[in-house]
């Protein structure tokens, strides 16, 4: 049983976009989000990672704490959006 299965499979693209937006806000050098940075040199400053060695959707060089911060921020934003939607319906 896959616990990571999406209830609405079409949401995958939106969640990925949110994931990379949050990673960028936190200053994390991750694959798909690197192309949107003007200055990619900070990746080499964080432990000798070169921007050419970072693959799309590869998060293995990110600390668990940082990856968890991204996941927590996604959850926080989704809850805020749901609350705004519910309060707007009243």
Residue 31, pLDDT score: 66
Tokens representing residue 77 in the block: 């934003």
Q: Which residues contact 58 (CB under 8 A, 6 or more apart)?
A: 30, 31
Predicted confidence band at 2 (pLDDT cuts at 50, 70, 90)?
low
Structural Rg of the chain based on CA atoms: 15
Residue 9, pLDDT score: 79
Each domain of the chain, given as residue ranges in start order, spans 26-85
Pick the residue with more confidence: 51 or 23?
23
pLDDT digits (tens, 9 = 90+) for 51-80: 444 455 778 888 999 999 999 999 999 999
Residue 56, pLDDT score: 59
Residue 33, pLDDT score: 46
Q: Which of 46, 54, 64, 65 is nearest to 30 (CA)?
A: 54
Helices then strands (H, E): number in the chain?
Answer: 3, 0
């Amino acid at each position: 049983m896959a616990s990571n299965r999406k209830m609405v499979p079409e949401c995958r693209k939106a969640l990925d976009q949110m994931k990379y937006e949050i990673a960028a806000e936190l200053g994390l050098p991750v694959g798909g989000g690197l192309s949107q940075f003007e200055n990619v040199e900070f990746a080499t400053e964080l432990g000798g990672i070169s921007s050419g060695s970072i693959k799309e959707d590869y998060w293995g060089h990110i600390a668990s704490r940082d990856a968890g911060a991204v996941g927590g921020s996604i959850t926080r934003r989704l809850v805020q959006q749901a609350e705004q939607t519910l309060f707007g319906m009243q």
